[in-house]
Amino acid sequence: MNKLRETTERPEIHIFFQNLLDKKEMITIWQVIGGERRIYEALLKQIQDNKIIFELSSLSKNPGEIPTSKKAIYVHGDYQDFLFKRDNFSLSNNLLTTTIPPILKLIERRKHKRHQFKYQNQHSIDFMPKGDLKRDELERSTTNTTLIDLSTEGCSFVVSATDVVRFPMGESFVITRIGGKDLDLDENAVVMQTVYYELYEEDKVNERKLFRVGGKFESPMPSISLTNYRNDLAVTNKLKEKYNISSFCGYSFEEQEKIVHDIFLRDEEMGSILKSNLESLQKLVYMTPTMKKEFLSFFPVSDLASSMRMCQEETVLKFLDGLTESLIEDFLHVLNEPKPVKMILKAQEEICEEINARLRTGALVLDERSFNKEV
């Protein structure tokens, strides 16, 4: 069996099901009842908002038996060897309706361990066409990219619809910088060849599309360390030392992912809302000191601290950076108090609405290379 990876990225999951709908490929749905597997062939017929509707083509393998809502269903198909489980569904004639899963398993394309990067963290990766381009000429060739994952054998990143044409299939590029760190451009240069690109996210209201580009390295990178290209640990330790913080100030990337995953399993709607809110709060790290002061005039420190209880350490510490000692002390006092998830969600609601409103108007900068600019 192929090795599978697990994704909770909503844009990737929604695009996957749209592609599955277009392919019109037969898939398999099964239930385990009394120790036996009941198998049904089906076709994805429709996507309605957050619902997916399958048409059961035949029950011939299980004469007289139909899926029972008392047991979970498992859905599998050849397309990317996908697999997911749903505990709840409805059945009308031969149409089975369920919700889009928050967790989807797909075939692992990489043979080597990949390091994941959240799109919201905005870690860039810069390229230049393979050739004799000098480093001082790089600025004109830089494309606005956001790193998604990285391994010793390859990487994937997100670009706009305008920029995706700069990475034609089979073309080779030299990687010049990862997450702000310059790479060698001599005989040890890392050369990437484009092997695929696919739609990553589509905003039909604003007519905006993002594409995910995948690349394979011509020669494996010698080694990869998260701290080399994702400076989260170095940044958090430096800020803790700067403000003499020894108490709880947020979770690691892995801890946060596990918490959200566990909440998903207990309550999908709550987990989905929490994931969306945490993505909005992540954008606070791009606020300038002036923006922070203005934002604090809108919301009490206690509300902000409650809303950020489940945020990553890096998010919390970067937001606190530049604030007064008294504000930091008040913030951490509230942050350290354990709170029910519902209370955290209530605190997040108004704050996330304000963040997203500022994002729409351009008052919040989301490019790490524009962090120091006043807007």
Could you tell me the pTM of the whole model?
0.54
Q: Specify the CATH superfamily of domain 4-107.
A: Electron Transport, Fmn-binding Protein; Chain A (2.30.110.10)
Model pLDDT for residues 268-297, shown as the tens digit of each residue: 888 889 988 998 898 888 788 888 888 888
Q: Given a cut of 50, is residue 87 above it in pLDDT?
A: yes
Q: What is the CATH number of domain 115-229?
A: 2.40.10
- 214 forms beta bridges with 156, 196
Domain ranges of the chain: 4-107, 115-229, 232-370
Class for domain 232-370, per CATH? mainly alpha
> Tell me, what's the pLDDT at 114?
63
β-bridge pairing 95-99 and 51-58: antiparallel
> Tell me, what's the pLDDT at 373?
35
More confident residue, 12 or 332: 332
* Cα–Cα nearest to 243, from 315, 301, 326: 326
> Tell me, what's the pLDDT at 73?
94
Residue 254: in which H helix or E strand, if any?
Answer: helix 253-266
Torsion angle (degrees, nearest 10) of CA 340, 346, 347, 348: 110
Would you say 25 and 78 are in contact if contact means Cβ atoms under 8 Å apart?
A: yes
Q: Count Cβ neighbours within 10 Å for each residue of 208-246 and write b for 16 or more, e otherwise.
A: eebbbbbbbbeeebeebeeeebbbbeebbeebeeeeebe
Q: In CATH terms, are 4-107 and 115-229 the same topology?
A: no
Q: Given a cut of 50, is residue 329 above it in pLDDT?
A: yes
β-bridge pairing 115-116 and 95-99: unpaired
- Most confidently modeled of 1-5, 138-142, 271-275? 271-275
What average pLDDT is seen over the chain? Answer: 81
Q: Tell me how many degrees the CA angle 118-122-125 measures, rounded to the nearest 5.
A: 105
Q: Where are the beta strands (DSSP E) in the chain?
A: 4-7, 26-33, 36-48, 51-58, 73-76, 83-86, 90-92, 95-99, 104-107, 115-116, 125-129, 146-150, 154-160, 172-178, 181-182, 190-203, 208-217
